[in-house]
């Protein structure tokens, strides 16, 4: 029996996770969120890419269709879409907890649930209006179903994952290999029907699978392996990487026969194997690609469960240690996830562990920037989000495909942590305004830095700053983009004096 106390504690952990990630969900959509929100208005067609890429097959259709339904509710889409992501993440974490508890590891289940809820990468993509929280849920459902030999749950997890994101291919490939190893000498072919059913259910989208995967080849143009390896260490921790390496070595040295015996073993063994095998397959497939961190996020709760089980097995079989010392050993190994990333302690976004700041719902306030700048040409770091909110006041922009330079909307390509580079790039674009996020910098410190460089902010919308580039554009030398008389007349009154 799981026990009332442990169930209540699990509910409290999940409730705390939902409360923390559900705080302040009404901020502007960031880059990818804006793309998906645009798709919600007309699924499978995007105005946020060039006309030749308007038919949107680079990702499967399930998440845009979900957003299309959420957009019909009488609430802001920013809130409903992000709340749905939190619900998917909570359900996925609960499945991981249930898989461990069902395998007889009740204390470990609580520890893994706490680690999953506290993981800042999980928090970040749970509160994001993106497909990674639903993908986390379907991955957890697949792992839960495979652990408990529940074919229906496995099929739903596979089909749901494939219709959510192509990354599910790596998890399905890992599970298929494990199934083949388990049944290679039994002559049982019933398991093949499971994959035949998955293929049949995926048939409507199968024609788009290869073109969709082919599009993502551009993410492997360039050398990112060294940075991604650091991200793996920073995300899993030294302890996690060491445990994963120990598991891979033991699995390879044991051979297929030993692996098949363990697959046919207990639920605990099956959970450990499916958790770490899918992580190895995923790393083998995407370790050289970008953006890498979001590719890790959906597997983390299941992976943490697998790493915790490996640590327990080491303490029990290799040491061996008494039960209390086993618990201390497990706590010590898991504590190594804080090294070399001690800033993971805390709650996103108030802590700054390894994560992609551009995928933060607190990154840039494009709705407020659009309200401040009005019709004036502007250089922003997130053109798609800015255009999404500018359309609210500019109906004539509806259906206008990317890029939008002729509309006076330019992208700020720069290193956001380097203020000098930010201003240098902004000055190279012929627009009167530039807007960018504070990225954790305090307003007073940034104001001093800008003043020293001869710039004066004209507005602080939310978590961002709007500058008038008076160094390049004097009152009599404003840019011609769109015609000065066409945009100065629509400037907010408190900004009209700038030009």
Q: 386-440, pLDDT tens digit by residue? A: 888 888 888 888 777 777 888 888 888 766 567 777 777 776 777 888 888 876 6
**CA–CA separation, 457 and 469 (whole Å):** 9
| Full residue range of the structural domain in which residue 68 is found | 4-346
Q: Is residue 353 part of a domain?
A: no
Q: Is residue 355 part of a domain?
A: no
DSSP line for 214-283 = HHGGGGGSS--HHHHHHHHHHHHHHHHHHHHHHHHHHHHHHHHHHHHHHHTS-HHHHHHHHHHHHHHHHH
Last residue of a domain, one of 311, 346, 381: 346
328 lies in the same domain as 374: no
Q: Buried (b) or exposed (e) across 236-274, using 16+ Cβ within 10 A? A: bbbbbbbbbebbeeebeeeeeeebbebbeeebbbbbbbb
Question: Residue 354: left if φ>0, alpha if ψ -120 to 50, beta else—which one?
Answer: beta
395 lies in the same domain as 473: yes
**CA–CA separation, 340 and 158 (whole Å):** 34
Token digits of residue 224: 């990112």
Q: Is residue 334 part of a domain?
A: yes
Q: Is residue 358 part of a domain?
A: no
CA 111 to chain centroid, in Å, comes to: 23
Contact status, residue 430 vs residue 479, Cβ threshold 8 Å: yes
Q: Is residue 356 part of a domain?
A: no
183 lies in the same domain as 234: yes
Q: Which helix (H) or strand (E) holds 104?
A: none
Q: 270-292, pLDDT tens digit by residue? A: 999 999 999 999 999 888 777 67
416 lies in the same domain as 373: yes
Q: Could you give the residue ranges of the DSSP H alpha helices within 22-129?
A: 31-41, 62-70, 77-102, 106-118, 120-126
Q: Is residue 357 part of a domain?
A: no
473 lies in the same domain as 406: yes
Report the candidate in 1, 19, 7 with the shortest Cα–Cα distance to residue 113.
Answer: 7
For the chain, give the number of residues: 499
Contact status, residue 432 vs residue 478, Cβ threshold 8 Å: yes
Q: 55-69, pLDDT tens digit by residue? A: 667 788 899 899 999
On the question of pLDDT at 164 being above 70, the answer is: yes
Contact status, residue 165 vs residue 177, Cβ threshold 8 Å: no
342 lies in the same domain as 265: yes
227 lies in the same domain as 298: yes
256 lies in the same domain as 368: no
pLDDT band with cut points at 50, 70 and 90 for residue 468: confident
Q: Is residue 352 part of a domain?
A: no
Tell me the average pLDDT across 29-57. 77
pLDDT, residue 479, reads 41
Tell me the average pLDDT across 465-487. 51
Per-residue three-class SS string for 453-493: CCCCEEECCCCEEEEECCCCCCCCCCCCCCCHHHHHCCCCC
CA 135 to chain centroid, in Å, comes to: 10
pLDDT band with cut points at 50, 70 and 90 for residue 485: very low
pLDDT band with cut points at 50, 70 and 90 for residue 217: confident
Q: Is residue 485 part of a domain?
A: yes
Q: 132-156, pLDDT tens digit by residue? A: 999 999 999 999 999 999 999 999 9
Contact status, residue 37 vs residue 67, Cβ threshold 8 Å: yes
327 lies in the same domain as 433: no
pLDDT, residue 329, reads 65
315 lies in the same domain as 406: no
Q: How many CB atoms lie within 10 A of CB 75?
A: 12
- Total domains present in the chain: 2
pLDDT band with cut points at 50, 70 and 90 for residue 335: low
On the question of pLDDT at 211 being above 80, the answer is: no
35 lies in the same domain as 110: yes
68 lies in the same domain as 28: yes
pLDDT, residue 52, reads 58
pLDDT, residue 43, reads 74
pLDDT band with cut points at 50, 70 and 90 for residue 490: very low
DSSP line for 394-462 = -GGGTTPPSP-GGGTEEE--S-TT-HHHHHHHHHHS--SEEEEE-TT--HHHHHHHHHHTT--EEE--T
């Amino acid at each position: 029996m799981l026990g009332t106390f442990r169930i209540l504690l699990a509910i409290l952990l999940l409730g705390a996770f939902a409360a923390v990630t559900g705080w302040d969900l009404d901020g502007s959509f960031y880059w990818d969120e804006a793309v998906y929100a645009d798709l919600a208005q007309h699924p499978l067609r995007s105005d946020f890419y060039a006309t030749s890429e308007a038919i949107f097959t680079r990702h499967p259709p399930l998440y845009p269709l979900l957003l299309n339904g959420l957009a019909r509710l009488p609430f802001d889409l920013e809130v409903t879409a992000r709340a749905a992501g939190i619900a998917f993440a909570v359900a996925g974490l609960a499945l991981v907890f249930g898989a461990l508890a069902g395998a007889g590891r009740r204390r470990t289940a609580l520890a893994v649930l706490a680690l999953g809820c506290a993981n800042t990468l999980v928090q970040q993509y749970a509160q994001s209006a993106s497909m990674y929280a639903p993908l986390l849920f379907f991955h957890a459902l697949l792992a839960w179903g495979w652990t408990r030999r529940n074919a229906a749950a496995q099929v739903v997890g596979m089909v749901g994952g494939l219709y959510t994101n192509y990354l599910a291919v790596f998890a399905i490939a890992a599970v298929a290999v494990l199934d083949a190893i388990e049944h290679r000498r039994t002559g049982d072919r019933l398991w093949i029907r499971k994959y035949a059913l998955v293929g049949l259910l995926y048939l409507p989208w199968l024609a788009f699978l290869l073109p969709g995967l082919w599009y993502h080849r551009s993410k492997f143009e360039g050398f990112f392996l060294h940075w991604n390896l650091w991200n793996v260490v920073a995300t899993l921790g030294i302890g996690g990487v060491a445990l994963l390496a120990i598991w891979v070595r033991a699995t390879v040295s044991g051979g297929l026969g030993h692996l098949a015996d363990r697959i046919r073993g207990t639920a605990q063994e099956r959970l450990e194997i499916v958790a770490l095998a899918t992580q190895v397959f995923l790393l083998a497939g995407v370790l050289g690609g970008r953006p890498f961190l979001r590719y890790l996020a959906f597997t983390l709760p299941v992976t943490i469960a697998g790493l915790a089980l490996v640590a327990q097995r080491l303490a029990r079989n290799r040491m061996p240690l008494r039960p209390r010392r086993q618990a201390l050993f497990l706590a010590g190994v898991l504590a190594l996830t804080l090294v070399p990333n001690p800033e993971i302690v805390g709650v996103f976004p108030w802590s700054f562990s390894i994560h992609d700041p551009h995928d933060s719902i607190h990154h840039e306030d494009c709705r407020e920037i659009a309200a401040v700048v009005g019709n004036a040409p502007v250089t922003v770091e997130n053109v798609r989000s800015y255009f999404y909110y500018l359309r609210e006041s500019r109906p004539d922009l509806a259906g206008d495909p990317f890029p939008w330079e002729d509309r006076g909307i330019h992208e700020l390509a720069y290193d956001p942590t380097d203020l000098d580079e930010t201003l240098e790039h902004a000055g190279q674009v012929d627009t009167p305004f530039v807007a960018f996020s504070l990225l954790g910098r305090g307003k007073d410190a940034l104001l001093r830095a800008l003043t020293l460089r001869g710039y004066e902010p004209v507005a602080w919308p939310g978590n961002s700053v709007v500058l008038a580039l008076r160094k390049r554009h004097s009152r009599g030398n404003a840019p011609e983009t769109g015609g000065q008389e066409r945009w100065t007349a629509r400037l907010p009154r408190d900004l009209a004096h700038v030009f």
